[in-house]
Amino acid sequence: MKTKDLTTMAILTALAFALSWVERLIPLEMIIPLPGVKLGLANTVTLFALYRLSLPAALLILTARCLLSALFSGNMTGLAFSLAGGLLSMLVMAAAKRSRHLSVYGVSVLGAAGHNCGQILTAMLLMHSAYIWGYLPYLLLIGTACGAATGAVSAGVLRALGGRARSAA
């Protein structure tokens, strides 16, 4: 691994961690009382890594961010949720990105949907209950709105930074 790649990934991990931390200050669940509702700002970093670096790099950044968040919050149940959601989301986004008919907006929305499904699956496993899927449609609706918003942010960031992250030697 080149030192430059390592540094870029370290910076992106720090940024993703900071964003997921800042996000807690926005009390979205006070307005929409569903467990697990959040903006998903850190997903802009994941999208950036997926578009400008590579899938393995994006996976490493995501895993490191989830572990850091769990360490700092001491919430190990949360780790299962964020990892399951994050990994399923990554899988969906990597597949969706291959489609020529989808831009970063669609990739982000489908990624959010993947994240919601991962969270619900984890909850069903943890609670030994299939009943929880009743939350899924509501999470999907909110996730679509948040996914489109983070998609717009990502499009802006990717456009502003152009090909620099990759081409600068």
Partner 1 sequence: MKKEHDGLTFQRGDAVAIAAVVTAALVMIALLLIPSGGNGRVIARIYQDGEVIRELRLEENTEITVEGAYRNTISVRDGKIAFTHSDCPGEDCVHSGWISAPGRSAVCLPNRVEIRLEGEADTDDVDAVVQ
Note whether 123 binds partner 1 by CB under 8 A. yes
Q: Which two tokens stand for residue 59?
A: 């996976």
The answer to whether 79 contacts partner 1 (rule: CB under 8 A) is no
Please give the Cα distance from 157 to 152 (Å, whole number).
9
Instruction: Report the alpha-carbon distance of residue 90 to residue 160 in Å, rounded.
Output: 23
Which of 1, 3, 101, 169 lies at the binding interface for partner 1 (CB under 8 A)? 101
CB closer to partner 1, 9 vs 37 = 37
Least distance (Å) from partner 1 to the CB of residue 103? 5
53 close to 9: Cβ distance less than 8 angstroms: yes
> Per CB under 8 A, which of residues 23..62 are in contact with partner 1?
29-30, 33-36, 51
The torsion of the CA quartet 52, 56, 103, 152, rounded to 10 degrees, works out to: -70
Q: With CB under 8 A as the contact rule, which of the stretches 8-16, 38-46, 61-69, 136-144 interacts with partner 1?
A: 136-144
136, 117 Cβ separation under 8 angstroms: yes
d(CA 38, CA 36): 6
Contacts to partner 1 by CB under 8 A? 29-30, 33-36, 51, 75, 77, 96-97, 99-106, 109-110, 113, 123, 126-129, 131-138, 140-141, 143-144, 148, 155, 158-159
